[in-house]
Amino acid sequence: MELYAFHLMPYPNIDPEVREKYSSAWVVYPNSEYDPELGQHLYSEYLDQLAFADQIGFDAVVVNEHHQNAYGLMPSPNIMASALISRTQNAKIAILGNGIALRDNPLRVAEEVAMLDVMSGGRVLSGFVRGIGAEYHSMGLDPTRSRSRFFEAHDLIIKAWTEPGPFEWDGDNFQFRYVNVWPRPLQQPHPPIFVPSQGSSETLQWAAQHRYPLACTFVPMERLKQFYDRYRQYASEDFGYEAGPEQFGFTSLVYVHPDGEEAAAAEMEPHIKYFKERAFTLPLPTFFPPGYTAAESYKTRIEIARELANSGGPTLTAGEPLIGTPEQVGERLERNLAACGAGTLMAQFQVGDMPHGKVMRSMELFANEVMPYLSRDKVIS
Amino acid sequence: MSEIFSVDLPSQSARVQHGGEGPPLLLLHSEANTSAWSEFHECLAADFEVFAPIHPGFGGEETPDWLVDMSDLAFHYKDLLGSLELDRPLVVGTSLGAWIASDLAIHFSSLIKGMVLFGPIGLRSAEPLPDLFIMQLPEVLSYLANSLDGGQVDPMTGDAELATAVWTDLATQARLMWKRNYDPRLRGRAHHADCPVMVAAGDHDRLTPLSYTEAYAELFDASLTTIAGAGHLVPLDDPVAAAALVNSFYLTLEK
């Protein structure tokens, strides 16, 4: 079992009327609402939380990339990864991930991740993402090119890391007369790659083909099982191997409280509400702009949007809620992993406007009263 | 009534709606699932042989890989005119279709008799035009025409199939105009459209202000007519008046 500490680094003071006044906490939510002095404290606290995860024995700390929004304040995940190198000793630094389709020059990602890998002594996990639809609005990028750019950027970066330069790259989206990335990554042949998935067959098959672990964020358990089953099926039927639990990870909110589930849930409720009603204020055309997916996937997305509207927003929990006493959290955590055959839990301790002290108390309890009892070496299947 | 047939072109197979008798008329449709044979087509078919192709990547088709920018459509439609052996048809385009028509005329004006542009787009505007790609689908329709029912295409409460049809049309439009909803070269090239041009706009147009349409008309040395009560997609909002305008324009053309 692997435990990662996942963080979004959200902005905690989003206007309570963000939906009515701005319709979105993304792309068009005015940056005059951002207070840089508060921002400095936030970065400091959030980095402390991830540094603490390293101290208490988490296998990795997770950063990610989102642009022009109050949901997550990491437009450059590589800057965060860099800040974490000196604050952590043992944990891997999982960049989940670089939005490689968003870059005019994907070689910049090859360079930066290689730098991070060398600087960290080979502690980088390199996630690659397309970027959600909102990023295409923010970056002025035609979403109909997203898939093509993602796959080509991936091929280019992997080749830049694994084949001697200089070589020429002449692709549909990117052209370089000289590809010759200095430095090269420390891990050979390159840092491990992770990809997320929203369940499209193309992505699942591609990930299975490359044996890239799926790291899914905010996907409910029923869908996780479907995604993982299809991945396992592609692996065994198309690519001739059995995909193990180490190839599957997912996020779940964790909150540990000595007084039990009811008290824990009551304390988390306002922060979950904040996440759903403010930070995740993301209209469908911003989330899924025209051309971001195939028409069939858009129909599925309409179904999901309708389900979410009925259930009050996206779920932060996959499977049984990891909100409760240490014993409850520990047992459920193992059951959740077993339920879908995943090996990695990406635990999210901070959500929405949850204050630092509350996060740290929960993490301490997790460290002292949950982690010692987890069967960390057990392969869950 | 119309038939629909397919023509194999070098780019791809083109689906063409066809009906009516008279001089040939190439009708280039507007955005957001508005390509179907409609009352406007019927009115035109009373006086013309109407060829109304569905643009590549529209009408439920995924955005084709070969489509990079507007000039690809000019060449696609040049090939269609050749394949159908149309002798200098009148070209009528609405909104996005008017932009395609303008590009066709700029590249190949000798192949067409003249063109009528309803609510044309494609020019750089002093004020940015509304961003159709970030709007909720009902709002998109409200910017395009008064007569369209936005509620039907609301993904949350409307018809998911119809919503998807509008969305996939917008996808191909995104390929053409996500980064720029205009062609910076249009201004410098408009004089190559060496044919008579008429521009028309609804006086209730929410997408392009009158000053924008005036600039377009001036650029193409065209007359400008406004249609009372109509929104941006004039042929949808007032098909009878729009068809009458096409007719009267045709009568002014030299034989």
Q: Tally the residues of chain B.
A: 255
Interface residue A171 vs chain B (CB under 8 A) = no
Which residue from A minimizes the CA distance to B162? A299
Test A142 with B60 for CB contact under 8 angstroms. Answer: no
Q: Is residue A59 very low, low, confident or very high in pLDDT (cuts 50, 70, 90)?
A: very high
Q: Within 10 A of A220 (CB to CB), how many other CB atoms are there?
A: 18
pLDDT score of B1:
62
Q: Which domains does chain A have, with CATH numbers?
A: 2-373 (3.20.20.30)
What confidence score (pLDDT) does residue B44 get? 98
On the CB side of A112, CA atoms within 13 Å amount to: 20
**A178-209 pLDDT, tens digit each:** 999 999 999 999 999 999 888 888 889 999 99
Supply B51's token pair: 């060829």
Answer yes or no: do A28 and B135 touch at CB < 8 A.
Answer: no
Contact B195, B26 (CB under 8 A): no
Asked if B92 contacts B72 with a C-beta cutoff of 8 angstroms, the reply is no
Over 80: is that where the pLDDT of A376 sits?
Answer: no
At which residue do the structure tokens 């080509």 appear?
A: A152
Q: Do B134 and A284 touch (CB under 8 A)?
A: no
Say whether pLDDT at A125 is over 90. yes
3-state SS, one letter per residue, for A222-279: HHHHHHHHHHHHHHHHHCCCCCCHHHEEEEEEEEECCCCHHHHHHHHHHHHHHHHHHH
B-interface mutation test, from A137, A141, A152, A302, most B Cβ less than 10 A away: A302
Tell me if A315 sits within 8 A of A218, measured CB to CB. Answer: yes
Instruction: Provide, as residue numbers in chain A, all residues whose Cβ is less than 8 Å from the Cβ of B135.
Output: 285
Residues A39-49 have a mean pLDDT of 98
A62 three-state secondary structure: strand
Answer whether B174 sits within 8 Å of A291, measured CB to CB.
Answer: yes
Token pair of A351 as six digits: 């959500």
- CA-nearest of A193, A182, A130 to A158 is A193
**C-alpha–C-alpha distance, residues A58 and B2, integer Å:** 68
Question: Is the pLDDT reported for residue A13 higher than 90?
Answer: yes
Residues of chain B in Cβ contact (below 8 Å) with chain A = 60, 62-63, 65, 133-137, 155-156, 160-161, 163-164, 167-168, 170-175, 178-179
A377 pLDDT higher than 80: no
| Domains of chain B, earliest start first | 3-131+170-252 (3.40.50.1820)
Chain A interface, best mutation among B67, B167, B179, by max A CB count within 10 A = B167
Q: Which of B65, B156, B179 sits opposite A142 (nearest CB)?
A: B179
Residue showing tokens 């008579």: B196
How confident is the model at residue B126, as a pLDDT? 87
Listed residue (B227, B216, B247) closest to B145, CA to CA: B227
Can you spell out the DSSP letters for A73-87?
A: --S-HHHHHHHHHHH
Q: Which residues of B touch A295 (CB under 8 A)?
A: 60, 62, 164, 167-168, 171
- Which pLDDT score, from 0 to 100, does residue B254 have? 67
- In 3D space, the residue among A281, A289, A271 whose CA is nearest the CA of residue A313 turns out to be A281
Distance CA A323, CA A336 (A): 13
**Residue A312's pLDDT band (boundaries 50, 70, 90)?**
confident
| Count of Cβ atoms closer than 10 Å to residue A167 Cβ | 13
Cα(A251)–Cα(A346) distance, integer angstroms: 4
Neighbours of A121 (CB within 10 A): 10
- Cβ–Cβ < 8 Å for A271, A353: yes
> What's the rounded Cα separation, in Å, for the pair B114 and B89?
8
pLDDT tier, A313 (very low <50, low <70, confident <90, very high otherwise): confident
* Residue A60 contacts residue A1 (beta carbons within 8 Å): no
Instruction: Please spell the DSSP secondary structure of chain B, one letter per residue.
Output: --EEEEEE-SS-EEEEEEE--SSEEEEE--SSS--S--HHHHHHHTTSEEEEEEPTT-TTPPPPTT--SHHHHHHHHHHHHHHHT--S-EEEEETHHHHHHHHHHHHHGGG-SEEEEES--BS--SSPPP-GGGS-HHHHHHHH-SSS-GGGG-TTTS-HHHHHHHHHHHHHHHHHHSS-SB-TTHHHHGGG--S-EEEEEETT-SSS-HHHHHHHHHHTT-EEEEETT--SSHHHH-HHHHHHHHHHHHHHS--
pTM beyond 0.80, yes or no: yes
pLDDT in single tens digits along all 255 residues of chain B? 689 999 999 999 999 999 999 999 999 999 999 999 999 999 999 999 999 999 999 999 999 999 999 999 999 999 999 999 999 999 999 999 999 999 999 999 999 999 999 999 999 988 899 999 999 999 999 999 999 999 999 999 999 999 999 999 999 999 999 999 999 999 999 999 999 999 999 999 999 999 999 999 999 999 999 999 999 999 999 999 999 999 999 999 965
What is d(CA B96, CA B204) in angstroms, rounded to the nearest whole number?
A: 18
Nearest to residue A3, comparing CAs of A322, A228, A261?
A322
Chain A interface disruption, residue of B134, B156, B170, most A CBs within 10 A: B134
Contact B155 A305 (CB under 8 A): yes
- For A106, the token pair is 């994907």
Whether the Cβ atoms of residue A232 and residue A207 lie closer than 8 Å to each other: no
Q: What's the mean pLDDT in A116-124?
A: 98
Q: Are A333 and A255 in contact (CB under 8 A)?
A: no
Contacting residues for A189 by C-beta, under 8 A, at least 6 apart: A161, A162
Minimal CA separation from A17 to chain B, in Å: 19
Q: Is the pLDDT of residue A77 over 50?
A: yes
- Which candidate, A193, A194, A106, A203, places its Cα nearest to that of A157? A106
- CB count in 10 Å sphere of residue B9: 18
CB-nearest partner of B174 from A143, A286, A309: A143
Q: Which of A142, A172, A200, A310 is the best substitution to test chain B (most B C-beta atoms within 10 A)?
A: A142
DSSP code for A380: P
**Which secondary structure element, helix H or strand E, spans residue A127, and what is its range?**
strand A124-129
Taking contacts as CB-CB distances below 8 angstroms, the residues of chain B near A299 are 160-161, 164
Backbone angles phi, psi at B50, to 5 degrees: -95, 125
H or E element at residue A167? strand A167-170
pLDDT in the model for residue A379 = 45
Which residues from chain A sit within 8 angstroms of residue B179, using beta carbons? 140-142
Pairing of strands A60-63, A92-99: parallel
Alpha carbon of B132: minimum distance to chain A alpha carbons (Å):
10
Contact list in B for residue A309 (CB cut-off 8 A) is 156
A264 conformational bin, left if phi > 0, alpha if psi -120 to 50, beta if neither = alpha
Model confidence at A148: pLDDT above 60? yes
**Is the pLDDT reported for residue A381 higher than 50?**
no
Give tens-digit pLDDT for A236-260: 999 999 999 999 999 999 999 999 9
- What pLDDT does A102 receive? 97
Q: Is the CB of residue A141 less than 8 Å away from at least one CB of chain B?
A: yes
B232: Cβ contacts below 8 Å, ≥ 6 apart: B95, B119, B143, B144, B145, B201, B202, B205, B206, B207, B208
pLDDT value of residue A202 = 86
Cβ-contact A291, A297 below 8 angstroms: no
HEC secondary structure over B165-182:
HHHHHHHHHHHHHCCCCE
Residue among A141, A290, A305 whose CB faces B170 most closely? A290
